[in-house]
Every structure is written in structure tokens, then in C-alpha cells.
Structure 1
């Protein structure tokens, strides 16, 4: 089975590419390399010992997508491609709406043209907005608090409308919680541009000496140590969820949303402690003011993914921190030589 992986050079895309190749799938990767490096794909080849086609192309250009479908016998698509920084989306919202929506519309139109109707979409737990309780179930009301989250929610609505218009489509909407960690080889991992937006890459750069200290946003939340609680999932487990979702869309029709998390919440300071243990050094941090809009706790109800996809996680928070540190210490400048 040949699978098109859009955004396949990115953090989650590259880890999923490894598992697809190891499961015997043929893959075609397309990525515009705006937030990723082609070196990640070289390392995917090195880890798996398998080759695949790569197109440096932008999904905003429909003709480039059409060319890929003409040249390959694609049977299903896993769609990761998109801009993804929450803070940046607030600063440049039009770019996020233009890129994330148009690229997905173009992709779906070309898929329809070639009668390819199996799609796994990379959504986000941001579509739950500020949930009123935890754990968060797929039936919770949907909303968004920033342009990035709104693009994910709008695309989910587009895909629901697409299925309503044509019941031959089979679509899985995967709502990620907080992916961290790296491949156990230490060869691929998260490579943020500039100062990281997410907690663990930030901690990793503090541990590696690139940043002086970690800013912890608030310690007055109603949690065990006052810091925010989040559901962290190892990127390798998360990649496995995409394989399960691909199997589901390959054997059924319909559209369903699935939470991909562990179902466990950890505070910021618990993550700092686990990372300190993994790297064998103290992680200096300073408590600063709460960020407006930050919720105290956010973690997943994972029962639907377990029951319908047969998906469950196996890797612990300590595994996540150890693998992240292995990647960071082996690649202090990411994919740069």
C-alpha cells in the first residue's frame, strides 16, 4: 500500500515515516521544508535501511500536488503539513489561515480527482479550547482560543462536510495532546527554530547549556505543585497511533475523531524533575506570571482510541525525557552539521 505523507520531514511526520516503512508500507513524502530539514529524511533512511520518494513541494500549489498523484499510485494520505506555532499564529493569523486551509483544500480536491478517499488528519487538542473539566472526551464542545487552533477546527469541519457530501470517504481526525521525546536511536527528534515554543525542547536546551534557565508560567494553579498539568505522549507512541488510524480508514468508511494521549497528566515541575534525572544535571528555572488563557489541567480520555483503534501507549514520562536528552546531547544544534 502506497501512502502519501505530507509534512513527512517534520517531528511527528518523520517518526511516523519510520513506522510505516517498518510495517512494509511504501511511502511518498512531500514537505516544503519551511519548518523542517531534509536531513531528517536521510536519517529515516538510515534507521530503516529503506528508500522512498521525496518531493520538496508546497501544498498551496495545487499543480505540485497533482504532479505527485500522477507520478505515484497513492492509496491513502496522512496529512501532517501545516504551520503549527500557537504564538506565531496570533502574530500572523492570515498566513496561518491561508497556508493551513488552502493546502488542505487543495489536497482534498486532488484526492477527490484521483478517487483517493482514505485520509488521516493531524488535528490537535487545541480544538477543545478551554475545557471545563478533565479528562477530555471526544464528545466535549469544540472551540479554539488562537488562530492555529481555529485552522485545525475549521479543517475538521471541512472534512465532516466532505464526508457528508460523499460517504465513500474514510477519515480519521487525530487530536494530539503534547508530543515529546525522540526516536531511541537519537538520530531524529524535535528541531525547533529559534527559542522553543514547547516545554520539553525548552528544557532540553537549558540542559544542554544553550539557554540559561526555564521560565515556568505560574505556580498558583489548583494542581499538586501549582504548575500546569498536561498530557505528554511519546512521539513514538503517537506515530503508532497513526498506523492504527491508517488501518482503520483502510477497512471502513466514515469520519471519526480520536484523542491521542496517555490519559495521564504531569505538572511542569514533574517534567523538570524527570528531565533532570534523565540528563543527570539540575534544570534551573524561574517562576514567572501565569500566561493569560492557560488552563490549569488538560489531559485526555483515551478510551475511544483504545476501543476503536486498539491504540494504547507503552512509553513512560521517564522514557520520553531520556530519549529527548539522547537526541539533544547527540544533536545540540538539531539537524545542522
Structure 2
């Protein structure tokens, strides 16, 4: 039986590339996306590349009832890879409350759902912004977390802290945070790539 992975933000740039790789490695992939910064057609493009079109559930992760309905429909998920988030540093300065609400409520809803549905693993899309203004360049994994310089970066720092506290309190949940820098480029097929709206 294939392992089932929920990929939030699955029609976005990083989510779609991850979905392709997961499908090609034999995983069943369920995409969850509100299409705020992407298009539903990306799921079909993932299918063209991988040979299997993943199921796409369109809803906002801040809506706990819709998340619950999705996880009931696709019960038995083995992991969540959480890419869904507002992600523009500059925009976050002008819309801080929207960023806090979207990025943190969605994360907390997912962590609650992991407990309810016994989903043991999460990969969290954090960011290099948690390093703030680093003291030494280049930044390495051992660099200390510094105060964030934007609301976006702060949502990633707070998100990591929420995950750390949740993992400490509930031993059935395991998580890892990816602190990567800006990914760029397109898939070799040119079917998926950097196509954000706006």
C-alpha cells in the first residue's frame, strides 16, 4: 500500500515540484491549496510530468472544518508537508495581521488535525528569514536564530516554536523544519515553475 502524503500549498512552486518527486518515488499525493497564488491546472501539469494526476482539494487551511473534511475524505495520511503560506516579505510589512493569521492559524489547525487523525510526521517549510541579520556570512545550519526583520520571517520563527512545543508535548508527532533560501528555476519539462499570480 502506498504511503499517503498531504502536500499543502501543493499547486505552488515548491509544492508542485515536491509532488512530482513524491509521485515518481511511489507515494500517493493529495494536494491541498486555496489557489491564492497558484492555479488548479498545476495538478494536471504534475500529472503530465509524473504520469499520475494527484487529487487536489481546494480550501483554506485556516478553515478547520474544511481541513477536517479533507482529512476524513483522505484518511490514513502518513505525513503532511506544509508549504502553504503567504510568502512575500515586503507585503508582510504592509499586511502583518493577514500574515500572522494565515501562516500561524493554518499551522495550528494542521497540528491539531495531526493529533486527531494520528498523522505522525510533518515537514514544515520554514525560511532562511529566521536567521534575521546574520553575524557571519555565509549562513550555515548552525547559525543562531536572530530577531526577524519582517512579519513574514516572524511567522516562520513563531511557527518553528509552535512546532517545537507541540512535538515536546505530544510524542506521537514528529516534525522537521526546512530553512531554505529562495528556490528558483523551472522543471525541465517547463510545465511547472515560477508562475505566481500578482
**What TM-score comes out, normalization by structure 1 length?**
0.56
Q: How many residues are aligned here?
A: 194
List per-residue Cα deviations over 1:281-321 (Å, max 9, x = no partner). Answer: xxxxxxxxxxxxxxxxxxxxxxxxxxxxxxxxxxxxxxxxx
More divergent stretch after superposition (89-98 vs 166-175): 166-175
Correspondence for 1:185 among 172, 186, 189: 189
Distance (whole Å) between structure 2 residues aligned to residue 49 and residue 164 of structure 1:
39
Which residue number corresponds to residue 250 of structure 1? Answer: none
Which residue number corresponds to residue 161 of structure 1? Answer: 165
Q: Which runs of 5+ in 2 are unaligned?
A: none
CA apart distance, 1:54: 1.0
CA apart distance, 1:61: 0.3
Distance (whole Å) between structure 2 residues aligned to residue 64 and residue 14 of structure 1:
21
For residues 71-86 of structure 1, what are the structure 2 equivalents within 5 Å?
71-72=73-74, 73-86=76-89
Which residue number corresponds to residue 130 of structure 1? Answer: 133
Larger Rg, first or second structure (1 or 2): 1
For the pair 1:111 / 2:87, whether they are aligned, the reply is no
Answer whether contact 2:93 2:150 (CA < 8 A) is retained: yes
Correspondence for 2:9 among 2, 7, 10: 7
Distance (whole Å) between structure 1 residues aligned to residue 196 and residue 71 of structure 2:
30
Which residue number corresponds to residue 124 of structure 2? Answer: 121
Which residue number corresponds to residue 207 of structure 1? Answer: none
Question: Which one has more relative contact order, counting CA pairs under 8 Å at least 6 apart?
Answer: 2
Q: What secondary structure does 2:149 align onto?
A: coil
List per-residue Cα deviations over 1:96-121 (Å, max 9, x = no partner). Answer: 00000001101110111111120000
**What TM-score comes out, normalization by structure 2 length?**
0.95
For the pair 1:57 / 2:59, whether they are aligned, the reply is yes
Q: Which runs of 5+ in 1 are unaligned?
A: 195-337
Distance (whole Å) between structure 2 residues aligned to residue 192 and residue 7 of structure 1:
12
Q: What secondary structure does 1:16 align onto?
A: helix
